[in-house]
Structure 1
Amino acid sequence: MTFNPLQERGIPLDKQLRNWRELNVTPIDPDHADPYTRCRIITMNGIETEAIFFSHQLARHCPDIELKQQLARVRYLEAQQQKAVNWLLPGLASVLETTIAYEQVAVDLTSWVARMEPDPYLRQAYEFGVLEDFDHLYRYANLYEMIEHRKAEKIVDNLTEVMPGRPTVRHHRDPRDNVREPYDKNNTVPMSKLHALTIMSAEQQTMNFYMNVGPMYMEPIARQLYQEIGLIEEEHVTHYESLVDPGESWWEMLLNHEYNECYLYHSFMETESDPKVKNIWELHLNMELEHLWLAAELFKKHDGRDPEQVCAPELPAPVTFEPNKRFIRDLIATQIDYTTLGTGYVQEAHERFERMQAALMNGDPPPSERVINDNREKSGHEYRLETEGPHPVGSLQLQR
Structure 2
Amino acid sequence: MSFNPFKERGIPIEQQLRSWSELNVKPYNKKDIHPYTKARIILMNGVEVEGAIFSHQFSRNCDNMELKKQLALTRRVEQQQQKVINWLSPGDETPLETTIGYEQVAVDLTAFLAMNVPDKYVKQVFDFGLLEDFDHLYRYSNLLQMTEGMKAEQLVGKLTEITPGRPTKLEHRHAFDDIRKPCDRKAADPLTKLFVLTLVAGEQQTMNFYMNLGNTFKEQVGRGLYLEIAQIEEQHVTQYGCLLDPKTPWIENALLHEYNECWLYWSFLEQETDRQVKNIWETHLNMELSHLQAIAQIAQQQGIDPEQVVPAQFPKPLLFASQIDYVRDILATQVDFNAFDTEIGPANKLPENPRYAKVQSILNAQGVPSEDVVTANMKKSGIDYRLELAGPHPVQELRQKK
TM-score (norm 2): 0.97
Residue 7 of structure 1: how far off its partner (Å): 2.0
In structure 1, the partner of 2:200 is 200
Matched residue, 2:47: 47
Aligned equivalents of 2:147 and 2:396: distance in 1?
Answer: 26
The match for 1:101 is 101
- 5 Å matches for 1:213-292? 213-292=213-292
> Mean alpha-carbon deviation: is it higher for 326-335 or for 340-349?
340-349
Unpaired runs of 5+ in structure 1? none
RMSD over aligned Cα, in angstroms? 1.2
1:300 Cα deviation from its structure 2 partner: 1.2
Q: 2:67 & 2:315 partners in 1: Cα distance?
A: 31
Percent identity over the alignment is 52
CA contact (8 A) 1:178 1:238 kept: yes
- Work out the CA distance in 1 between the residues paired with 2:92 and 2:65: 43
Question: What do residues 336-389 of structure 1 show as CA deviations (whole Å, max 9, x unaligned)?
Answer: 000110101131263221111012112x33100010001001111100001111
Task: Summarize deviations over 1:215-239 as a string: whole Å, max 9, x none.
Answer: 0012100111000000000000001
Structure 2 partner of 1:394: 396
What SS does the aligned partner of 1:345 have? Answer: strand
What's 2:360 paired with?
Answer: 357
- Kindly provide the amino acid, as one letter, of the partner of residue 25 in structure 2: V
Are positions 1:14 and 2:14 aligned together? yes
Q: Give yes or no for the alignment of 1:305 onto 2:304.
A: yes
Give the partner amino acid of 2:184: D
Aligned to 1:88: 88
Q: Give the equivalent residue in structure 1 for 2:374.
A: 372
Residues 143 and 104 (structure 1 numbering): CA distance in 2 closer, same or farther, change over 3 Å?
A: same
Structure 1 distance, partners of 2:398, 2:273, is 40
The equivalent residue for 2:170 is: 170
Number of the residue aligned with 2:137: 137
Describe the superposition over 1:188-244 as per-residue Cα deviations: whole angstroms up to 9, x where unpaired: 111110000000000000000000000001210011100000000000000100000
1:194/1:260 contact within 8 Å kept: yes
In structure 2, distance between residues paired with 1:199 and 1:390? 29
The reply to whether residue 119 of structure 1 matches residue 119 of structure 2 is yes
Give the superposition deviation at 1:398.
Answer: 8.7
Matches of 1:161 and 1:21 in 2, distance apart? 39
For the residues of structure 2 that align with 1:328 and 1:351, how far apart are their CA atoms? 30
Structure 1 stretches of 4+ with a deviation exceeding 3 A read 394-399
Q: Counterpart of 1:236 in 2: which secondary structure?
A: helix
What is the identity, as a one-letter code, of the residue corresponding to 1:326?
D
Secondary structure of 2:339's counterpart equals: strand
| 2:330 pairs with 1:331 | yes
Other-structure match for 1:5:
5
Shift of 1:397: 6.0
Q: In 2, distance between residues paired with 1:347 and 1:90?
A: 43
Q: Is the 8 A contact 2:392 2:399 kept in 1?
A: no
Question: Does the 8 A contact of 1:100 with 1:141 survive in 2?
Answer: yes
**What amino acid maps onto 1:342 in structure 2?**
D
Q: Hey, what's the Cα distance between the residues in 2 that align with 1:268 and 1:312? A: 19
Give me the whole-angstrom Cα distance separating, in 2, the residues matched to 1:196 and 1:262. Answer: 16
- Per the alignment, residue 148 of structure 1 pairs with 148
Letter in 2 for 1:203: E
Could you tell me which residue of structure 1 aligns to residue 187 of structure 2?
A: 187
1:9 shift after superposition? 3.2
Partner SS state of residue 6, structure 2: helix
Question: Which string of whole-angstrom CA distances, capped at 9 and with x for unpartnered residues, describes residues 47-78 of structure 1?
Answer: 00000000000011112222222211110100
SS in 2 for 1:5: coil
Q: In the aligned structure 2, how far is the partner of 1:397 from the partner of 1:168?
A: 16
Q: Match for 1:311: what amino acid?
A: V
| Paired residue secondary structure (2:110) | helix
Which whole-Å CA distance do the structure 2 matches of 1:344 and 1:8 have between them? 42
Runs (5+) with no aligned partner, structure 2: none
**TM-fit CA distance, 1:91:** 1.5
Alpha-carbon contact 2:125-2:344 (below 8 Å) kept: no
Matched, 1:384 2:386: yes
- Decide which moves more: 132-141 or 344-353: 344-353
Tell me, in whole angstroms, the C-alpha distance in 2 between the residues paired with 1:240 and 1:397.
30
Give CA deviations for 1:226-265 in whole Å, capped at 9, x if unaligned.
0000000000000100000011000000000000000000
- Alignment match, 1:315: 314
Aligned partners of 1:167 and 1:398 also within 8 Å:
no
Change beyond 3 A, Cα 1:238–1:397: farther
The match for 1:160 is 160
